[in-house]
Structure 1
Amino acid sequence: MLSRPASSAWISIAAFSAFTAAQIDYTQYVNVFQGTTNGGNRFPGVVSRPFAMVKLGPDVVSGTTDAYSGYLPGGNIFGFSLMHESGTGGAPKYGVVSQMPATNNVSNPLTDLSQGRSAADQGAVGYYRSQLSNGVVVELAASEHAGLYQYTFPSGTSPSIVVDVSHVLNSWRGLGWEQHYSKGNFTFLSDGHYEGSGTYNNGWNLSPDWTIYFCGKFSENPTSSRSFKGTGTTLVAYNTIPSVSGNERVGGVFTFGNTSIKSRVGISFLSSSQACQNLDKEIKQDTTLNSLTDKAKETWNAEAFSKIQITGASDDDTKLLYSSLLGMFLIPSNRSGENPGWRSSEPYYDDIFTFWDTHRCHTSLFQIVQPTAYEELIRSLIDVWRHDGYMPDARSSNFNGRVQGGSNADNVLADAYVKGVRGAVNWEDGFAAMQTDAEKAPANNNDPKAPDSSTKEGRGALPDWLKYGWVTPTYTRAVSRAIEYSTNDFGVHQVAAGLGKTVDADKYLNRSRNWRNHWNPDASSNNHTGFVVPRRANGSFVEQDPGSCGGCYWGDAYYEDNSWIYSMNAIHDVYTLKEFIGGDAKFVDRVNKIFDLKIFNVGNEPAFTTAYLYNFVRGEQWRSVDRSRQIAKSYTAAANGLPGNSDAGAMESNILWQMIGLWPMTGQTTFLILSPWFPSLSISLGTGKTLKITTTGGNKDTAYYVQSLKVNGQGWDKAWVSWNDIFANGGTMEFVMGDQATNWATGVLPPSPASGDV
């Protein structure tokens, strides 16, 4: 049995001070339970490498609390399954291909077999351990397409393992987003292994039936193997017939003579035979828990953690950095070669949740830390368009959905294009995919929460956007959609301009200014006038309190935030925004008020960039630094250490940018300068290129104001840098810090590319 430290135990960082970066085991600084409580919804189980298809961990039930990633700190475990998402909301997804141990002869496998825990779960990168109330210890490790369970049963018991194909994560929210089991099959093979498949539907993205196949093998032959089928908790059949299938719940029960059992399971979206091939290739009969765990640690070190190296950091900040890096790269899932929808030589990524959450700061850091995978993701998005008709704003179980606002894959493609992602990307097809979003309204999928137009893909309110240049209250989320459509159109402009499509570039640049059509200069709130509000087809504005957004949900004019926030979200047109608000002083006061009135929500993505817009006013960069440090106080590496839902790593990427001391402006090459945390931070950019950021004369907590800056050895007086300055070929940033704000950034303001025609 493999021994691993509890989640609260840490190996001292000082113990590694004599090692080179290549020798340091960065996984020792990672708390896999970061963000698993306090609404973070992060997955703490086993993910063998960034974006691995298998995510093996516990499924917990606790009253009527949704376990979005499967895990809850309290409650009963009712299975250990191979598929999960991480940091998602809405409703749980997956929790499929599960098994559950029992200590006695199982008379009815359809009844509640769940167990409490006699000790807190333990975990480390590549490893997970649960100790159940019945005395069974379950330890987990995994590869990319398979999982390894190691069971230790108490002596004197009758060890049994139940495989229930109907097992899914439940939702009790009552929104109609719960998963459904559709059908399954389960077969014993003559050599002792088993195969089968389960078909499921619905979940947060309202997907139709999808199927996952599995192949399982044990370390020894069971003393008995029984299949079962039934409805609810009522058995229809429970015997030794080799195969069962149908719409009823199906599965198998295995009983063993020994108290130590290893169970290996492979999965595939293509077939059971492919699941067996995945298993035999990745987890052989003699593979140990230790070897899989060590391989996972080596892979995460090489592909993620070693990419960012720091010196002079506290233990807490080091743990926060590397724990957050883990959370960034749990999803999406790399399912290249496992796409059941079409055959293609292109990469395939699924479990995108969602670009509405991640396009602001996650995808830009994804490109820097994982450039190869990032190019693959861009190619995958374009290939989804080729075969499904639209790029996803979100995607899970091989199905697009749900769109909360705009078609934000456009922003992601634009960000990649302007930052030089080329490789094997077909950018002509990429532009065509973006144009589909910009010109073709998707068919209505009749979402009960927003029945006015499609929430599956594309821009559901596009007919209004094309007809009026704004979105009327005919459509739900009219204002927040309009703001996002503007940034989406700016993204289309960026790629069109780069490809030399000047007519299209001009067209979409002009359309990107249409957020202005929602600006009511007479709307007033807290001594400020001018806000984006709903607008009718006849051009009149709807009276709207900018401080209210109703329920701030699917049926309202604003989604998950109010007009104070959405009025600041046209980040490609900030100079216009400043003019509309009333000039520099009023603009600074507007951002201040967002914090003073407690409108700003550190755990909600629409406000992310607002905190740093001070950089667009000379002499005010220090205010962005203050806000950055204020936001950082909401983060730790602890289980409750995220200020909100991880949102697939969006929340973790936010704090990582604070540590680096920069903020990305999505779809542009601009990075706003904040204040780095560490005496030295180096980011490996690939092909031997490095960005090195140093600070002298201050400290992260009390003397963090920029006094002066050199970029690539030259004095710097701008509150921003570009991609080409520091990332395209690497570079250096040398900060001198102090405890008093100074007016060091007296140079040219950051670009505002859509503001040429106010």
Structure 2
Amino acid sequence: MLVRDLIVYSIFSISGVTATPIDYSQYVNPFIGSEGPIAGKGFGGGDIFVGGALPFGVVKVGIDTTAANWSIAVLNGGWTPDGNVTGISMMHESGTGGAPKYGLISQMPLTSIAPPVNILDNLTYSQPRVGNDTASVGYFKSQLQNGVTIELSGSRHSGIIQYSFPEGEKHVLVDVSHYLPGSPSDTSPQFYVGGEIEISQDGASYSGYGTYIGGWNNGAPFTVYFYGEFNHKPSTSQTFTGVNTDPIPRYQNLANGGISEPVYGNISKATSGPLNDRVGALFTWDDSSQSSQISSRVGISFISVDKAHSYIKSEISSWNLNDTVTAAVKEWNQDVFSKIQVPLGQSANFTHLRLLYSSLYFMHLMPSDRSGENPLWESDEPFWDDFYTMWDIFRCTVSFYHLVQPTYYESMIRSLIDIWRHQGFLPDGRSGNWNGLVQGGSNADNVLADAYVKGLRGAINWTDGYAAMKKDAEVIPYNTYDPTDYTASTKEGRGALGDWKELGYVSQDRNTRCISRTVEYSLNDFALSQVAAGEVPEDQQKYLKRSANWQNIWDHNVTSLGFAGFLAPKFSNGTFNTTYDPLLCGGCEWVDYTYEAVPWEYSFVIPHDMETLVEFMGGPTTFESRLDLMFKPNMSQQSLGANGAGITTLMNIGNEPDFATPYLYHYISKQAKSVQQSRSLANQYFKDAPYGIPGNSDAGAMNSWLLWNIIGIYPVVTQPVYLLGSPWFPDLNMTINGNKTLRITATGQDKGNFVQGVQINGKQWNKNWFEHKDVMVDGGIIEFQLGSEMKVWETGEVPPSPGHYTL
């Protein structure tokens, strides 16, 4: 029997009496997004983490696997559908693209260490899996070809692994130098740069540290301390060292032709030394004298071994794996899943339940709350890491945190500001205690503004918050000369700020991503104007005017597919590039016109001034026709590789710039079309299946888009405004603002999904949008009447354009 199966809960409908807490975790499918369009392959999928973790936890314990084929492999979450297992490690990201990060502090069960096994070469001992892996909230199980069964669970800073060995040899390898490797084409792979391991006198525990560098954000070295222990004393235990055959290239001074054999030296301690030797330990149990089941608890810390050890004592005091699983399920239910309650009776749509609670799950795996684990400076402020990245989550993920996780969200905002206090800039991306990478604008500005305009105050120092935002808007960050893009800083800030301040746009000849960065800098400056209005009013108009700079690269003469007027590359001398095609971008990567979307798509991404955009596109009728074309199949001409796998429309829901595009019909009073297009996308690309999301999860950003669609509303970033959609459930109760309730009901779902009318707090509503203060502060009720008619029910004004400004 699976350990997870031992957890039994009584399930009651929310309309009945709840004698026992409801186990919403049963509706989570941890494998959604684990594959792409090629069955059994990760390419084009969600790059998700599969394993044991708590909401926003530091530890994400799971298996690491090999790349069966680098051209269609993804190792970012550790787990892959087809790779062989190389270890079980404590740290992972979830849903991220680019070069992998983490896969650190590992163990690996072995049933032989005889040749050809070389414990310094994981390809000699990596194990295929037998059958299908099993996963649920807080639990993971895998069967290896060597007969070992792995079961595991995780807490906030520690994890527990249970090995069931077959008869014969039993070994557990601890390789401090283990990490997730990058592909041969990665420009910023991570590396191990040194460490130490020490075995206790009785041989049943070990401790030490590992130092690592690089990964997707090209980060600086960071050190992870660890303490591990076993429930049975090994018969033998010994440390080893080995030549580091994969050091950082610029430090390479070894000319050996292959991986060396380990050197077993000091029995109790091994240290890397000046050449960054690999270090580890091997633990062995005699088959005749020990149980076939060996368990290990491992704690990690960024501060010390002692702190790593303390986490085991406080978080996983029991050797019973089931106790940790039960505690994890309880925390997920209390802190996350119970925040949204829907009918669970026999008439409930099971697929919709799975998509709802799985979306909640994936958007709570990251970022990581490392408060109390800041090795860089002394501070009483919270400390968060693994923002991967603001570019992904600012669009609709953080707006959800604001509502249902206000305590966590306030903590995140305070941490972002504290990073600026001590490191000079707000992060756009951050992992391994290091800022980077910046994919476009300084999008922490958008995150702070979204929190500010919706009234989040608490213990946030908004004087400092605005100063941090203003630093992004006024100070050019130093150039990190990242091979990803040598032209400007990719670490933080706005690398093309020089152009922005001098020209009023980002130019093609001086900078990369000239179109997408112009668009994003415009929204960033609008974000500043929003916060300035309350903090430094004399700055508001300056940044409001700068937020209109996107108009400087609007070329009314560009035509494409029968429409005129597009964002276009512009040179520093003020002339437009007249040869470019808005259907193409090169590759939509770091050195192209746009990032992860073609100019056709970016030309719709002006959320703060839709009024001007509709005008520039020729008025409501032409705007509607042009928006319709975004959803027509077989119109895309640009290959985006994994970022666009299986998508043939110009509208690419697999990339974040398009998240709000299906809802833009609201701005011409055609809410029914917003419902039609957004629901069509949700039904086509989001499934309760391994290929269940259309691309990287991106730290839950993709899942949060679906979540808003399920709820029936959509947030407008940096504004206290929500667009009314069409809810999936007849009755949904969401806990907001800590202890308030927002209830969303829908009648007529049996007839159709189109809105026939809306009431908010008992008042007939004639607008297709509402403000944060209407129901998101003290709670309230939104009542939808649905049907089959695509009705223009909204007679009130269209959603606002607070950034409306004519240059």
TM-score (norm 2): 0.91
Whichever residue aligns with residue 561 of structure 1, its letter is A
**2:281 corresponds to which residue?**
252
Query: Which of residues 681, 694, 699 in structure 1 aligns to 2:732?
Result: 681
Q: Does 1:305 align with 2:337?
A: yes
Structure 2 match to 1:32: 30
SS of 1:521's partner is strand
Where does residue 444 of structure 1 map in the other structure? 479
Per the TM alignment, residue 120 of structure 1 is displaced from its structure 2 partner at its CA by 1.1
Is the Cα–Cα contact under 8 Å of residues 333 and 350 in structure 1 kept in the other structure? yes
Q: Secondary structure at the match of 2:60?
A: coil
User: Which consecutive unaligned segments of at least 5 residues does structure 1 have?
Assistant: none
Map of 1:489 onto structure 2: 525
Aligned residue for 1:627?
677
Residues 119, 262 of structure 2: 8 Å contact kept: no
Q: Distance in 1 between matches of 2:792 and 2:587?
A: 41
What is the distance in 2 between the residues matched to 1:340 and 1:66?
Answer: 30
Partner of 2:315: 282
Specify the code of the residue in structure 2 equivalent to 1:704: N
Matched, 1:89 2:94: no
Question: Paired residue for 1:52?
Answer: 57
CA contact (8 A) 2:120 2:262 kept: no
Aligned mates of 1:703, 1:696 — CA distance in 2: 10
Q: Structure 2 counterpart of 1:605, which letter?
A: E
The 5 Å alignment of 1:589-738 reads: 589-596=625-632, 597=635, 598-618=649-669, 620-633=670-683, 634-699=685-750, 703-738=752-787
Secondary structure, in 3 states, of the residue corresponding to 1:238? coil
Task: State the 1:75 CA deviation.
Answer: 2.1
In structure 2, distance between residues paired with 1:177 and 1:5: 42
The equivalent residue for 2:302 is 269
- Cα distance between partner residues in 1 of 2:13 and 2:761: 33
Deviation at 1:686, TM superposition (A): 3.7
1:62 to 67, 85, 110: 67
Contact in 2 for aligned 1:2/1:289 (Cα 8 Å): no
Superimposed CA distance per residue, residues 385-411 of structure 1 (whole angstroms, 9 cap, x where no aligned partner): 001100100000000000000000000
Call closer, same or farther: CA 1:11–1:132 in 2, change over 3 Å: farther
Cα distance in 1 between the residues matched to 2:10 and 2:567: 51
| 2:589 pairs with 1:557 | no
Report how far residue 12 of structure 1 moved.
Answer: 11
Quick one: which amino acid aligns to residue 715 of structure 2?
A: P
Secondary structure of 1:234 counterpart: coil
Report if the CA contact (8 A) 1:266-1:276 is conserved: yes
Matched, 1:4 2:33: no
Give the Cα–Cα distance (whole angstroms) in 1 for the partners of residues 450 and 22 of structure 2: 33
On the 8 A contact 1:11/1:29 being kept in 2, the answer is no
**Alignment correspondent of 1:162:** 173
The percentage of counterpart residues that share the same residue type is: 48
Q: In 1, distance between residues paired with 2:380 and 2:619?
A: 52
Quick one: which amino acid aligns to residue 58 of structure 1? I
Q: Distance in 2 between matches of 1:728 and 1:564?
A: 37
Match of 2:642 in 1: none
Helix, strand or coil for the counterpart of 1:209? strand
Instruction: Point out 4+ residue stretches in structure 1 off by more than 6 angstroms.
Output: 9-17
Contact persistence 1:13–1:29 (CA under 8 A): no
**How many Å separate the matches in 1 of 2:202 and 2:172?**
18
| Distance (whole Å) between structure 2 residues aligned to residue 190 and residue 17 of structure 1 | 58
Secondary structure of the residue aligned to 1:82 is strand
Q: Distance in 1 between matches of 2:161 and 2:10?
A: 30
Match of 1:373 in 2: 408
Q: Distance in 2 between matches of 1:534 and 1:479?
A: 6
1:228-284 CA distance string (max 9 Å, x none) = 111243135214522111111110000013221111111001111221122222222
Q: Is the CA contact 1:379–1:425 (under 8 Å) kept in the aligned structure 2?
A: yes
Cα distance, 1:564 vs structure 2: 1.2
2:86 is the counterpart of 1:78: yes
The size of the alignment, in residue pairs, is 749
The one-letter amino acid of 2:322's match is N
Q: TM-score, normalised by structure 1?
A: 0.96
Q: Which deviates the most, 98-107 or 484-493?
A: 98-107
**d(CA) in 1 for partners of 2:503 and 2:741?**
47
Provide closer, same or farther for how the CA distance between residues 12 and 561 of structure 1 changes in structure 2, counting only shifts above 3 A. Answer: farther
1:459 aligns with 494
Q: Given residue 352 of structure 1, which amino acid in structure 2 is its aligned partner?
A: F
TM-superposed CA distance for 1:15, in Å, is: 8.8
**Aligned residues of 2:10 and 2:21 also touching (Cα < 8 A):** no
Q: Mean alpha-carbon deviation: is it higher for 524-533 or for 684-693?
A: 684-693
Deviation at 1:363, TM superposition (A): 0.8
The equivalent residue for 2:216 is 204
Alpha-carbon RMSD across the aligned residues, in angstroms, is 1.8
Q: Which residue of 2 aligns with 1:571?
A: 607
Comparing 274-283 with 373-382, greater Cα deviation is found at 274-283
Aligned equivalent of 1:242: 268
Q: Which amino acid aligns with 2:264?
A: Y
- Change in 2 beyond 3 A, CA 1:496/1:490: same
